[in-house]
């Protein structure tokens, strides 16, 4: 790029077109920085180009946190069936083999050991158990809560991908900015050296330019390392591995929604899955309380059993069966039911308090995200004006220094201001895109169709 700069100066293009040329070349180099700065690439290690949409789809298919949440959904779907098994039949079988302590005499006078063998089968069928109804409803609520929790997890993971993706873009742009700054500092150093050689500048100008070049090189090294780390973090989230070279594609910038903060709050109360889960937790604890109350009610049980004994021990048969219908009424169980009853009452109160607490937290979260977007919108407008003014100021002072009308300190200060303005603008631009998505996440609408796609069929 320095050869292009030198050619532009010798051709008489001037400092303003030259500055624009540096910006253009820096932008081109910045888009290639991700592949170049992610480490050496071998012949068998190709750079993977990745869009934000592809990153979303990949994390839904490979993320371990989402897979764990899906497993919780599948387990929760079994809870209603588990409750219904209380009304299912139970079959019990037994076998016996008995050797008596004493022997029995026979007619011939020889002692014989009267060994007996036996077997039985028992079938039990509950006819009435009032705890089943509350347990079944609680199971259905648990399955619904698990599905909502999985949606909330998927949305959180998707937002994490967006944050990591835009962090790579931000670091990539900061590399381009620092390379532009380094090129300008090197150009300023060369100009100061030429003026010193012909006696138009003092040695301090050259030394000050050397300091600016060293500072620019140090800043470039730091941001290049930050870029490599950001690429590794994104690759780790997407299960590519930390050594997979990635090149990200800059998506189309989003714009702020015209919705007010009050509208966003109402939307969050309707859409946030974690708030719905805490509301379901109240109903779940109520059903647990009802289940404990149902334990005081009688239970109706039918039972049939059949037994076989060998050898013949009865006068008529060795095969007989019995059938009974029993009513079980638990009168006292050591006070455990009373303890469970009081525990469930406290659980209901605790669940209600958690719901109210989360309701307040969501209000603060939505307002924080909304005002963050509002602040960044105004900040970007000011920063764009600031960058334009800093570019013009640096160009004017650099031209003035070339003819001796400005000092090197003025030029270095202008360069630092330009670098600071560009860095802040690049940072805030990508932070703004993340803030927009954070507002959607806080209101429960971020990547809504992908969150639905992640649900278990």
Round to whole Å and give the CA distance between 87 and 129: 7
DSSP state of 49: E
Q: What is the C-alpha separation between 66 and 88, in angstroms, rounded? A: 34
**Residue 22: predicted pLDDT:** 42
Residues 256 and 209 both lie in one domain: yes
Let me know whether 115 and 232 are in one domain: no
pLDDT in tens, the chain (457 residues): 433 333 343 333 343 334 443 443 444 344 444 444 444 444 345 678 999 999 999 999 999 999 999 999 999 999 999 999 999 999 999 888 877 665 555 555 555 556 778 888 999 999 999 999 999 999 999 999 999 999 999 999 999 999 999 999 999 999 999 999 999 999 999 999 998 998 888 899 999 999 999 999 999 999 999 999 999 999 999 998 766 688 899 999 998 888 999 999 999 999 999 999 999 999 999 999 999 999 999 999 999 998 887 765 554 556 678 899 988 888 888 888 899 999 999 999 999 999 999 999 999 999 999 999 999 999 999 999 999 999 999 999 999 988 888 888 999 999 999 999 999 999 999 999 999 999 999 999 999 999 987 765 4
In this structure, what token pair is assigned to residue 240? 């590519």
CB 287 within 8 A of CB 134: yes
Q: Are residues 200 and 303 in the same domain?
A: no
Q: How far apart (Å, rounded) are the C-alpha atoms in residues 348 and 418?
A: 60
Residue 221 lies inside a defined structural domain of this protein: yes
Residue 5 lies in a domain: no
* Domain assignment of residue 3, yes or no: no
At residue 89, what are phi and psi to the nearest 5 degrees? -70, 155
Q: Residue 162 domain-assigned?
A: yes
User: What's the total number of domains in the chain?
Assistant: 2
Same domain, 207 and 268: yes
| 123 and 207 together in one domain | no
**Residue 212, CA atoms < 13 Å, CB-side half-sphere:** 31
Q: Which of 411, 272, 427 is nearest to 355 (CA)?
A: 272
Residue 315 lies in a domain: yes
Are 285 and 387 found together in one domain? yes
Candidates 32, 145, 37, 57; CA nearest to 450 is 57
Domain of residue 315: give its range. 88-129+299-329
CB 259 within 8 A of CB 267: yes
Same domain as 199, residue 104: no
Q: Are 61 and 259 in contact (CB under 8 A)?
A: no
Distance CA 1, CA 6 (A): 9
Do 176 and 26 contact (CB within 8 A), yes or no? yes
The predicted structure's pLDDT at residue 108: 54
> 241 and 183, same structural domain?
yes
Q: Would you say residue 391 lies in a domain?
A: yes
User: From CA 253, how far away is CA 250, in angstroms rounded?
Assistant: 8
Q: How many whole angstroms separate alpha carbon 362 and alpha carbon 354?
A: 12
Residue 8 lies in a domain: no
Q: Clarify whether residues 347 and 375 are in a common domain.
A: yes
Q: Which CATH number do you get for residue 307?
A: 2.20.200.10
Question: What is the C-alpha separation between 414 and 397, in angstroms, rounded?
Answer: 8
pTM: 0.81
d(CA 251, CA 377): 19
CA distances from 240 to 112, 137, 156, 400, 435 (A): 79, 42, 20, 52, 26
282 occurs within a structural domain: yes
Asked if 119 and 264 sit in the same domain, the reply is no
Residue 332 has a pLDDT of: 83
How far apart, in whole angstroms, are the C-alpha atoms of residue 428 and residue 177?
14
> What CATH number corresponds to the domain at position 158?
1.20.1600.10
218 touches 249 (CB < 8 A): no
How far is Cα 366 from Cα 440, in angstroms, rounded to an integer? 9
pLDDT of amino acid 25: 42
Same domain (yes/no): 122, 160: no
pLDDT at 403 (0 to 100): 87
Asked whether residue 290 falls in the same domain as residue 411, the answer is yes
């Amino acid at each position: 790029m320095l050869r292009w700069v030198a050619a532009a100066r010798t051709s008489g293009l001037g400092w303003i077109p030259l500055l624009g040329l540096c910006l253009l070349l820096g932008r081109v180099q910045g888009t290639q920085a991700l592949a170049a700065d992610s480490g050496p690439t071998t012949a068998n290690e190709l750079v993977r180009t990745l869009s934000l949409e592809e990153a979303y789809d990949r994390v839904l298919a490979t993320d371990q946190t989402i897979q764990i949440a899906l497993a919780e959904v599948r387990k929760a779907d079994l809870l209603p069936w588990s409750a219904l098994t209380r009304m299912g039949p139970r079959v019990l079988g037994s076998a016996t083999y008995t050797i008596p302590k004493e022997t029995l005499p026979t007619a011939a006078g020889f002692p014989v050991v009267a060994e007996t063998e036996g077997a039985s089968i028992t079938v039990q069928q509950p006819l009435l158990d009032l705890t089943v109804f509350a347990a079944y409803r609680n199971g259905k609520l648990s399955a619904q809560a698990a599905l909502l929790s999985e949606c909330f997890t998927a949305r959180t993971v998707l937002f994490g991908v967006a944050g990591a993706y835009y962090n790579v873009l931000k670091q990539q742009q900061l590399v381009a900015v620092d390379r532009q700054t380094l090129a300008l500092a090197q150009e300023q150093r060369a100009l100061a050296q030429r003026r010193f050689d012909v006696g138009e500048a003092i040695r301090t100008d050259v030394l000050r330019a050397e300091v600016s070049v060293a500072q620019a090189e140090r800043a470039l090294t730091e941001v290049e390392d930050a870029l490599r780390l950001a690429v590794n973090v994104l690759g780790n989230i997407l299960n590519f591995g930390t050594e997979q070279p990635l090149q990200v594609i800059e998506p189309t910038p989003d714009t702020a929604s015209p919705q007010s903060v009050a509208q966003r709050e109402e939307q969050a109360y309707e859409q946030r899955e974690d708030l719905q889960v805490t509301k379901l937790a109240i109903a779940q604890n109520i059903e647990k309380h009802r289940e404990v109350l149902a334990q005081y009610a009688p239970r109706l049980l039918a039972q049939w059993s059949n037994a076989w004994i060998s050898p013949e021990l009865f006068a008529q048969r060795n095969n007989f069966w019995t059938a009974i219908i029993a009513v079980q009424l638990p009168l006292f169980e050591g006070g455990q039911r009373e303890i469970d009853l009081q525990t469930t009452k406290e659980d209901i109160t605790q669940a209600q308090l958690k719901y109210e607490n989360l309701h307040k937290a969501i209000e603060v979260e939505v307002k924080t995200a909304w005002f963050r977007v509002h602040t960044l919108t105004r900040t970007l407008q000011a920063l764009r004006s600031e960058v334009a003014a800093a570019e013009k100021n640096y160009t004017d002072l650099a031209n003035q220094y070339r003819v001796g009308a400005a000092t090197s300190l003025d030029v270095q200060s202008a360069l630092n201001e330009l670098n600071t303005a560009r860095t802040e603008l690049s940072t805030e631009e990508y932070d703004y895109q993340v803030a927009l998505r954070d507002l959607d996440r806080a209101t429960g609408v971020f990547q809504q169709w992908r969150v639905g796609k992640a649900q278990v069929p």
